[in-house]
Amino acid sequence: MKKLLALLLCAVLCLSLAACASNTTTTETPAASTETAAEAPTETETAEAPAEEASSDAKQYVVGICQLVQHDALDAATNGFMDALEEALPGQVTFDLKNASNDIPTCGTIVTGFVASNVDLILANATPALQAASTATQTIPILGTAVTEYGVALDIKDFSGTVGGNISGTSDLAPLDQQADMLLELLPDAKNVGILYCSAEANSVYQADVVKAALEAKGVNVTVYTFADSNDVATVTQTACAENDALYIPTDNTAASCTEAINNVAEPAGVPIVAGEEGICKGCGIATLSIDYYELGRTTGAMAAKILTGEANVSEMPIEYYQNPVKKYDAARCEALGITVPSDYVAIG
């Protein structure tokens, strides 16, 4: 009997131990699951990882900028270009900006350096810079800006609006016939008009020829005066002022960098000047049919982004023009000269 009682007590003890073991396992399982969940990546972390990888792998570009000379119009075009390209490709573009200080051979040296460095694209700001770049490379994409007439600049006969090859860009040409009309609108009594520009700038020659023909068709006597460089600007201006009722200056880069010297002659002589662009007008003129060079540069920057990313082929891109130029005037000079300005002109700020 005692032996049977001992066996029963042993069986009960074994069943109690089994029940305790089963309860312990059930309690630990949720704890282990919680720890595993805490160590797993969150959805936010998983989404950020590919974004960081894409940013670090984004293609980088080097763009060489050759600007002929420092003055308001060309500076604005360069700034607009850089701003637009940086907005289109943020953090992906390195700019190598160089200024030729109005020395044409230096343009050649600059773009030759860009070619040796194998930049991804060249911005040629002004006609001599474009001419130098076109000579330096036939493979690296080239965009011009502040270039008046590409057919003239690149000696292309029967220019159709698309250069082809590795060149395209934007033009700063405002309607030349309208500039001639504006001169006569403001100065109806002008019988003799002098056209003043630098003989080294092919596009200035082109503009002068067109404006001369337009003025002569209206019965005005026109004389052309040219200077070779900045050294003889004052002397040539003095002769032009002595022989004419008014002067016209096209979008000429040398003239734009010498407006103070021109104004120092024209203002005391009381000779009004109509200019081809706003920067020259600010320095020495009474009025201009103005384009926005910053916006022109932005248009060029948008073209560059398409070329760099492969969205467009430079050889197929037509030259783009600034739309809707604005008649602007210098209020102080017009008042000093007694010139009545029509209501559709905007005062230069």
Q: Give tens-digit pLDDT for 161-183.
A: 999 999 999 999 999 999 999 99
The secondary element (H helix, E strand) that includes residue 86 is helix 72-88
65 three-state secondary structure: strand
Average pLDDT, integer, range 291-303 = 97
pTM of the model: 0.79
* Residue 254 to residue 131: CA distance in whole angstroms: 16
Q: List all residues 6 or more positions away from 226 whose beta carbon is below 8 Å from its beta carbon.
A: 196, 197, 198, 199, 236
Per-residue pLDDT for 16 more than 70? no
Average pLDDT, integer, range 33-39 = 31
Per-residue pLDDT for 22 more than 90? no
Q: Are 95 and 315 in contact (CB under 8 A)?
A: no
pLDDT tens, 129-170?
Answer: 999 999 999 999 999 999 999 999 999 999 999 999 999 999
Q: List all residues 6 or more positions away from 153 whose beta carbon is below 8 Å from its beta carbon.
A: 127, 130, 131, 144, 147, 202, 203
Average pLDDT, integer, range 254-276 = 97
Confidence of residue 55 (pLDDT cuts 50, 70, 90): low
Confidence of residue 300 (pLDDT cuts 50, 70, 90): very high
Per-residue pLDDT for 295 more than 60? yes
Report how far apart, in Å, the C-alpha atoms of 206 and of each of 11, 66, 173, 267 are: 116, 23, 11, 27
Q: Are 335 and 308 in contact (CB under 8 A)?
A: no
At residue 57, the pLDDT reads 77
Average pLDDT, integer, range 253-261 = 96
Q: Which two tokens stand for residue 280?
A: 């020259």
Per-residue pLDDT for 312 more than 90? yes
Per-residue pLDDT for 65 more than 80? yes
Average pLDDT, integer, range 262-274 = 98
